[in-house]
Amino acid sequence: MKSHRTDLKNIARRAMIERGLLPDFSAAAIAELARIQAAATDRHSDMHDLTGLLWASIDNDDSRDLDQLTVAEPHPDRSVKILVAIADVDALVTKESALDAHAKHNTTSVYTAGDMFPMLPEKLSTDLTSLGEGQDRLAIIVEMVIADDGAVLSSSLFRALVHNHAKLAYNSVAAWLAGTAPAPDRVKAVSGLDAQLRLQDQVAQRLKARRHQQGALSLETIEPRAVFEGEVLTALRVEQKNRAKELIEDFMIAANQATASYLKGKSVPSFRRILRSPERWQRIIEVAARWGEHLPPEPDARALEVFLVARRKADPLRFPDLSLAIVKLIGKGEYVLDQSKDGAPEHFGLAVKGYTHSTAPNRRFPDLITQRLIKAALAGAPTPYHPEELKSLADHCTEKEDDAEKVERQLRKSAAALLLESRIGQRFDAIVTGASDRGTWVRLLEPPVEGKMVTGASGLDVGDSVRVELVSTDVERGYIDFVRVGS
């Protein structure tokens, strides 16, 4: 019997190798892994015992590499203390080890339709360094006090022992928060967790509202996930944003800002995650003008956000395609070394200054680097990375993240081609998503697949509705070709 999953995994391996990524761990890393038999323990005097707090994780249904837990404590003045626990991965993966070398080379886990290629072996990332349910684990704590208006009043970092009381999933928590489904079983089973999560949701919505008032961008792109029955690819499902995802996203953004602020306060040279002010702002102005909207002549996140909110309300069907166009024009995020004493580089898309990546050390190498800098600062020890080393690593992490994204994008295309290869000759309703000298691209309304118009593209522009016929697919390269039918 044909295994679509195996086919896609093989394509993913070849794509990774072409991009200079390592799909397999070295013999040295595997030998090192064999010597690690248990989770790290540390009873130092500076270690807080927070196992009694109502910590819980919220992640994808199938995620086992759990990097963070959250908990909230209300204050009488309506402010709320939010604590984010981040897995202490450095406790088992030490700098310059063979496991560290693999993580440093790839810099990220690679998530493809065929398989997930973890940055760290699953014995660690989904078990011994994961904040798994029912386990006591070492963690870095980011503690923040959030005001009623979403302002962060204070923040601090310290080390602690934590215990995950409930492994929860985005979709079921979101449906319960929205009132469209009963509470998940684990929420019912853990006394007080329902009120705890509702409080976290309220605080996250305050944080989100404040960020968007300051110009954080409401972007919504379509990234379909492959759905399998056994080994056979049966569908592509678009993952929707929801309240539970926003809860985690908003807490992680705040935690990353607090971490950057802590390191700056300790005068520690460190990574920043930035998104530069768009060089192609003039083109963004032209895109907005198509809908009669006038953006100012200089890059302005607040003005762009007002336009995006209006377009989502006016045309939700086409909004993801507009979002994608804006994302491409804004450009990519990158890692940089920040040694500035003031005026930290900013993240245009999040409308924040002084931002780093720190909350996913099982999945991203920059977060593991940041964790080592935090632990050294907390201990009053010398910094484990010199500024020149950090600058080189920042460039390397940016480059490898780009390589990983290209592999993931290629595999999304290969999965789409595989899903459609038996449907040559069928006709579909579509929307034009790209039109330039290099060609015209369309997205089918169902299934959510993008391909190239090889004939009949004359006169079409982004946002136009069109009827197309599928004429060919190439699974290995991820090519899908359409021709226009009708007028």
Q: What pTM was estimated for this model as a whole?
A: 0.91
As given in the structure block, the two tokens for residue 443 are 């997205």
What residues contact 296, with CB distance under 8 A and at least 6 apart?
303
Only one residue has tokens 């493809």, namely: 112
Is residue 199 helix, strand or coil?
A: helix
- Distance between CA atoms of 109 and 23, rounded to whole angstroms? 10
DSSP letters for 34-90: HT--S------TT-EE-TTS--BEEE-TT-----EEEEEEE-TTS-EEEEEEEE-GG
Q: At what angle do helices 281-289 and 301-314 cross, to 10 degrees?
A: 30
Is the per-residue pLDDT at 316 higher than 60?
yes
Whether the Cβ atoms of residue 112 and residue 182 lie closer than 8 Å to each other: no
What is the tens place of the pLDDT at every residue in 242-288? Answer: 999 999 999 999 999 999 999 999 999 888 888 887 878 888 888 88
Average pLDDT over residues 146-164: 96
Q: At what angle do helices 170-177 and 243-265 cross, to 10 degrees?
A: 110
Is the per-residue pLDDT at 349 higher than 70?
no
Residues 339 and 355 in one domain: yes
pLDDT band (50, 70, 90) for residue 1: low
Average pLDDT over residues 127-151: 96
Residues 428 and 291 in one domain: no
Residues 143 and 102 in one domain: yes
What is the tens place of the pLDDT at every residue in 195-238? Answer: 999 999 999 999 999 988 887 777 777 778 899 999 999 999 88
- Taking Cα atoms as reference points, which of 162, 161, 345 lies closest to residue 260? 345
Is residue 225 helix, strand or coil?
A: strand
- Residue 386: burial class (beta carbons within 10 Å; 0-12, 13-18, 19+): exposed
Only one residue has tokens 């079983």, namely: 185
Residues 246 and 366 in one domain: yes
What is the tens place of the pLDDT at every residue in 25-62? Answer: 999 999 999 999 999 987 676 789 999 999 999 998 88
- Taking Cα atoms as reference points, which of 301, 130, 145 lies closest to residue 215? 301
Is the per-residue pLDDT at 341 higher than 70?
no
Rg (CA), the chain: 23
pLDDT reported for residue 457: 83
What residues contact 408, with CB distance under 8 A and at least 6 apart?
110, 111, 112
Averaged pLDDT score across all residues of the chain: 91
Residues 356 and 325 in one domain: no
Q: How far apart are the first and last CA of the chain?
A: 42
Average pLDDT over residues 393-420: 95
- Distance between CA atoms of 100 and 107, rounded to whole angstroms? 10
Whether the Cβ atoms of residue 255 and residue 144 lie closer than 8 Å to each other: yes
Can you give the CATH number for the domain in which 457 is found? 2.40.50.140
* Count of domains observed in the chain: 3
Helix/strand number for the chain, H first, E second: 13, 20
- Distance between CA atoms of 416 and 403, rounded to whole angstroms? 20
Pairing of strands 479-484, 450-455: parallel
Residues 325 and 349 in one domain: no
What amino acid is encoded at 237 in this protein?
A: R
pLDDT reported for residue 424: 96
Residues 175 and 105 in one domain: yes
Q: Which of 416, 438, 473 is the last residue of a domain?
A: 416
Residues 112 and 221 in one domain: yes
Whether the Cβ atoms of residue 144 and residue 163 lie closer than 8 Å to each other: no
What is the tens place of the pLDDT at every residue in 54-113? Answer: 999 999 888 888 999 999 999 999 999 999 999 999 999 999 999 999 999 999 999 999
Lowest mean pLDDT among 55-69, 147-161, 313-327, 465-479: 313-327
Residues 317 and 353 in one domain: no
Containing structural domain, residue 324: 281-330
Average pLDDT over residues 145-174: 96
DSSP letters for 259-324: HHHHHHHTT--EEEEEBPPPTTHHHHHHHHHTTT----SS--HHHHHHHHHHHHHH-TTTHHHHHH
| CB-based contacts of 432-440 (< 8 A; 24+ apart in sequence) | 432/460, 432/461, 432/462, 432/463, 432/464, 432/465, 432/466, 433/321, 433/324, 433/325, 433/462, 434/325, 434/462, 435/460, 435/461, 435/462
- Distance between CA atoms of 75 and 331, rounded to whole angstroms? 41
- Residue 37: burial class (beta carbons within 10 Å; 0-12, 13-18, 19+): exposed
Provide the phi-psi class of 269: left if phi over 0, else alpha when psi is between -120 and 50, else beta.
beta
Helix (H) or strand (E) holding 123: helix 122-123
- Distance between CA atoms of 390 and 48, rounded to whole angstroms? 30
Q: Which of 416, 451, 466 is the last residue of a domain?
A: 416
- Residue 294: burial class (beta carbons within 10 Å; 0-12, 13-18, 19+): exposed
What residues contact 318, with CB distance under 8 A and at least 6 apart?
431, 463
Residues 315 and 441 in one domain: no
Residues 79 and 129 in one domain: yes
- Taking Cα atoms as reference points, which of 258, 233, 481 lies closest to residue 353? 258
pLDDT reported for residue 437: 82
Query: Count of CB atoms within 10 A of residue 413's CB?
Result: 21
Is the per-residue pLDDT at 345 higher than 70?
no
- Taking Cα atoms as reference points, which of 439, 426, 418, 419 lies closest to residue 468? 426
Residues 434 and 463 in one domain: yes
DSSP letters for 148-166: TTS-EEEEEEEEEEEEB--
